Amino acid sequence: MIQLAEEEIPKINQKNDYAIVAITKHSAEIARKLSGLFPNGDLYYPHKFAKGDEEGLGIQLYDGNVRILLSAIFYKYKGLILFISLGAVVRMIAPLLKDKKIDPAVVVIDDRGKNVISVLSGHLGGANELTREIAALLHANPVITTASDVQQTIAVDLFGSRFGWVWDSEEHLTKVSAAVVNEEPVAIVQESGERSWWLYDHPLPKNIMLYPTILDAIDAKPSGALIITHRLLAPEEKSILQCGIIFRPKVIVIGIGCNRGTSGEEIQSVIEETLLELGFSSKSIKAICTIDLKKDEEGLLKVVEERKVEFCTYTAKELNEMHIEEPSETVYKYTGAYSVSEAAAKRYLQSDSLVLVKKKSGNVTISVGVLEHKEDYPWQKE
């Protein structure tokens, strides 16, 4: 990692998610054009190419070696769009790299704006998508070398990411990705979650097969497996993990009622305990729902923040519109609603079907439902 002396660090005024950097007079002109088309970018180019309107346009001028600028902004931005030669970029960013999970997207554009090249963090960092977007704006040629993109197949490390899916473990990520791009047998089992994960207008490749159950996939002895489920696997299913990855779709909806002042720790404990009893993964929680009287409940807000899930509150009137199996006069007395946890979960799901209607534990009442996605797979539609 390059260490800069304090006096060397240029002043940075970050306003957007991306940085656009040019180093030549010609590329500065193209970069100005791009900046007008791509409002989520902060533009930087050398002071010697100033036109006098930079301050009004929010353009930042720099002096000295661009290497110092890149060192200063590298981890400040979600992505860097660089009008610099590919070889020079590789040499400059090499000492800055840490991990593909946190490295920013890096895209390189040639001095005439003819080619837009995805260089770093193509999948996880979004450089491939950024490359396509910038190339479209400049009417340039997008250059993407990631095997899954070139072959138009599943990018395992991005599978379901646009829906918020997360994986349980990345242990076999490389192995399964290799099986996909090398056209080895790959099994997919989907028990829950969105079904529009296939991004292309042609059917699944022949090496990728959809199986109805995990046991069916195990019997097929695939080289890799993608399992999409909110369930915790049963002992007889776990052998699939020798060559597979579990993806957790966001489908679990939790209704919560609690006494005023209930701690976040107690609420967390009840959620974890309940999901374990149901055989569900807490990574699949999509939303926590309650009555609007609890919208400022510190314990609930703490849980929502820690889990980074949706927080939905409803009025007593909205909750009373839901069918409740055992309306509570006591709850109505204090809240104006005949149910909080059950009604809130049903209201979010727009369904009367819950996996757990209601459970009282200490200061917390919890209800649990699962969001269903019944749409057809895109390649199966007529």
Q: What is the DSSP string of 180-196?
A: HHTT--EEEEESSS-S-
Q: Look up the CATH number of the domain holding residue 180.
A: 3.40.1390
What average pLDDT does range 56-76 have in this prediction?
90
Q: Are residues 115 and 47 in the same domain?
A: yes
Q: Are residues 231 and 271 in the same domain?
A: no
241 φ/ψ angles, rounded to the nearest 5 degrees: -75, -10
User: Is residue 155 domain-resident?
Assistant: no
User: Is residue 38 domain-resident?
Assistant: yes
Which among 195, 229, 249 is the end of a domain? 249
User: Is residue 334 domain-resident?
Assistant: yes
Q: Find the Cα–Cα–Cα–Cα dihedral 7, 13, 14, 18, rounded to 10°.
A: -80
- 95: which 2 tokens? 């000492």
Helix segments in the chain, DSSP class H = 25-37, 54-57, 66-73, 86-93, 127-138, 147-150, 173-181, 214-220, 264-278, 298-307, 316-320, 329-335, 341-349
- pLDDT tens readout for residues 281-310: 999 999 999 999 999 999 999 999 999 999
Q: Find the Cα–Cα–Cα–Cα dihedral 238, 241, 243, 246, rounded to 10°.
A: 130
User: Is residue 34 domain-resident?
Assistant: yes
Write down the number of H helices and E strands in the chain: 13, 17
Tokens 């020079």 correspond to 88
Q: Look up the CATH number of the domain holding residue 346.
A: 3.30.420.180
Q: Are residues 24 and 96 in the same domain?
A: yes
Least confident of 69-78, 211-220, 362-371: 69-78
For residue 36, the enclosing domain spans 6-145
User: Is residue 1 domain-resident?
Assistant: no
Q: Is the pLDDT of residue 22 over 50?
A: yes
pLDDT confidence of 258, banded at 50, 70, 90?
very high
d(CA 29, CA 254) in angstroms, rounded, equals: 53
Q: Are residues 245 and 256 in the same domain?
A: no
Residues in contact with 181: Cβ distance below 8 Å, sequence separation at least 6, in sequence order: 147, 148, 151, 153
- 34: which 2 tokens? 């791009």
- For the chain, give the percent of residues with pLDDT over 70: 94
What average pLDDT does range 354-362 have in this prediction?
96
Q: Is the pLDDT of residue 122 over 70?
A: no
User: Is residue 380 domain-resident?
Assistant: no
Q: Are residues 37 and 127 in the same domain?
A: yes
Q: Is the pLDDT of residue 13 over 50?
A: yes
Q: Are residues 13 and 131 in the same domain?
A: yes
Local structure of residue 10 (DSSP, 8 states): P
Q: Are residues 37 and 84 in the same domain?
A: yes
User: Is residue 156 domain-resident?
Assistant: no
Q: Are residues 234 and 286 in the same domain?
A: no
d(CA 264, CA 273) in angstroms, rounded, equals: 14
Q: Is the pLDDT of residue 198 over 90?
A: no
Closest CA to 228 of 215, 213, 243: 213
pLDDT greater at residue 202 or residue 187: 187
Q: Are residues 17 and 136 in the same domain?
A: yes
User: Is residue 96 domain-resident?
Assistant: yes
Q: Are residues 261 and 240 in the same domain?
A: no
Number of domains in the chain: 3
Q: Are residues 112 and 216 in the same domain?
A: no
Q: Are residues 187 and 281 in the same domain?
A: no
Which among 86, 113, 145 is the end of a domain? 145
Q: Look up the CATH number of the domain holding residue 80.
A: 3.40.50.11220
Tokens 């609007």 correspond to 292
Mean pLDDT of the chain: 89
Which among 212, 227, 249 is the end of a domain? 249
